[in-house]
Amino acid sequence: MTQASLGESVVQKTIHATHAQNNGVAASVTQTQPLWLLAEVTYRCPLHCAFCYNPTDYDKHTQNELTTEQWIQALRDARKLGAIQLGISGGEPLLRDDIEEIVVEARKLGYYSNLITSGVGLTEKRIQAFKEGGLDHIQLSMHDITEEINNFITNTKTFELKKKVAAMIKGHGYPMVLNVVIHRYNIGHMKEILEMADALGAEYIELANTQYYGWSLVNRSQLMPTREQVEEAERITNEFREKSGSKMKIFFVVPDYFSDRPKKCMNGWGEVFMIVTANGDVLPCHSARVLPNMKFPNVKDTDLGWSWKDSPAFNKYRGDSWMKEPCRSCDEKENDLGGCRCQTFLLTGDAEAADPVCSKSPHHHLIEQAILDARNPAIAAQPIVFRNDKNSKRIIAGELKDRVGELHALP
């Protein structure tokens, strides 16, 4: 799954929409309600994207996926808690043959459902079944306008297939919703990517600058553009937006590293997002399992309501009582709640510190160093570690720690 498929622009829109019309959920269910349920139904994937933000140790979780019945139960339980938006994601969700059943159940329960896919495995038969079953939305990831970069960054030959799938989605009357992860290899093609989206009839495109977790952190020095490239990409996007008017909504998700303040990660820990992973772990954020000394509940043996409301994991970083200085006394803390716990831990070794993206953080030099490194061709020339089972096993065995350590990404 692409990391910005739940980008903040989408989150804000969703929250506004669901507050306005909550499809029959009791009005009393208001505080810290999991509006979004993200079902990461499998970690298997035919693509091997260098920026994938699935866990680098995903290979541990490919053998014990939830069954169809367990997924359906999770959907029912989350709906009772107030969930209204369902993202069906992965890995590649279409590698499971029960997505049609899950979609039918989602419709019955009143979810607004969104399939987040690379397109591999989408056939006429399946899309027809999704349409009949009531799937609301399909979000397709695209990678570049060139076959060369598409195939390189995914380590597959999927360029032609993606174009066919885009046409199929449009042909079945779905809105064309594209997600393009932006990195050093495609940031110079911003205008052409927008023209491609326009030509495909896209109603919505998210230009999701790479954020550095999971595989993209391992490959950070290969993927990270320079500040000038990011500024130029944003300028081109704004210019295109002005010229093209409102027919295609364009979201340019600003990369954390190039901001002075962090984002309010997941719109606040345990505030609106609940993620159920392929093996049933219940998480407040996709990357949360990187944090030390945390035990996350699992739907196989724990009630989802308890997980959300009462579990120590979901309460650990709710609100701001966990904060240390400089966040604790910061007059901006309401805006970002101290940033992202996972990013902070991965870069500083202290999950309770201020996000190093923040210029007030004592660790901000780590971000400044990463930005400097992006200009260094020697660092950038390292080979990419593609997301695949073999590399996941290597990471589980501790093999690539040095590689990330050299880049100031671990303490």
| Contact flag: residue 326 with ligand SF4 (CB under 6 A) | yes
Contacting residue, 14, 18, 33, 54, with ligand SF4 by CB under 6 A: 54
What's the CA angle centered on 391, arms 388 and 393, to 5 degrees?
A: 105
Joined together, the tokens standing for residue 139 give 């979000």
- Residue 49, annotated as binding a ligand: yes
| Contact flag: residue 45 with ligand SF4 (CB under 6 A) | yes
Joined together, the tokens standing for residue 167 give 């046409």
51 touches 3 (CB < 8 A): yes
Binding mask 289-308 for ligand SF4 (x = CB under 6 A): --------------------
To ligand SF4, the closest distance from the beta carbon of 327 in angstroms equals 3
To ligand SF4, the closest distance from the beta carbon of 127 in angstroms equals 18
The one segment of 122-130, 238-246, 336-344, 400-408 that binds ligand SF4 by CB under 6 A: 336-344
The one segment of 59-67, 265-273, 335-343, 375-383 that binds ligand SF4 by CB under 6 A: 335-343
Dist CA 251 CA 320 (whole Å):
29
| Contact flag: residue 332 with ligand SF4 (CB under 6 A) | yes
Contacting residue, 107, 170, 333, 403, with ligand SF4 by CB under 6 A: 333
To ligand SF4, the closest distance from the beta carbon of 82 in angstroms equals 28
Contacting residue, 77, 105, 144, 336, with ligand SF4 by CB under 6 A: 336
Biggest CA–CA distance in the chain, Å, is 58
Q: Which residue lies nearer to ligand SF4 by CB, 304 or 358? A: 358
- Residue 358, annotated as binding a ligand: no
Contacting residue, 118, 186, 307, 392, with ligand SF4 by CB under 6 A: 118
| Contact flag: residue 48 with ligand SF4 (CB under 6 A) | yes
Candidates 195, 156, 159; CA nearest to 48 is 156
| Contact flag: residue 233 with ligand SF4 (CB under 6 A) | no
44 touches 90 (CB < 8 A): yes
Dist CA 411 CA 398 (whole Å):
15
The one segment of 21-29, 94-102, 128-136, 354-362 that binds ligand SF4 by CB under 6 A: 354-362
* Contact set for ligand SF4, span 190-229 (CB under 6 A): none
To ligand SF4, the closest distance from the beta carbon of 212 in angstroms equals 14
Q: Which residue lies nearer to ligand SF4 by CB, 11 or 41? A: 41
| Contact flag: residue 90 with ligand SF4 (CB under 6 A) | yes
- Asked, as a colleague might, if the bond just before 188 is cis with ω within 30 of 0, I would say no
Q: Which residue lies nearer to ligand SF4 by CB, 90 or 284? A: 90
Joined together, the tokens standing for residue 44 give 């298997």
To ligand SF4, the closest distance from the beta carbon of 254 in angstroms equals 16
To ligand SF4, the closest distance from the beta carbon of 109 in angstroms equals 25
Q: Which residue lies nearer to ligand SF4 by CB, 288 or 358? A: 358
| Contact flag: residue 11 with ligand SF4 (CB under 6 A) | no
| Contact flag: residue 387 with ligand SF4 (CB under 6 A) | yes
Dist CA 272 CA 250 (whole Å):
24
Q: SS in 3 state form for 8-31?
A: HHHHHHHHHHHHHCCCCCCCCCCC
Dist CA 26 CA 31 (whole Å):
12
To ligand SF4, the closest distance from the beta carbon of 345 in angstroms equals 14
| Contact flag: residue 52 with ligand SF4 (CB under 6 A) | yes
Contacting residue, 172, 184, 227, 261, with ligand SF4 by CB under 6 A: 261
Binding site for [4Fe-4S] cluster: residue ranges? 45, 49, 52
Binding site: residue ranges? 45, 49, 52
Interface residue list for ligand SF4 (CB under 6 A): 1-2, 45, 47-49, 52, 54, 90-92, 118, 261-262, 326-327, 330, 332-333, 336, 338-339, 354-355, 358, 360, 387
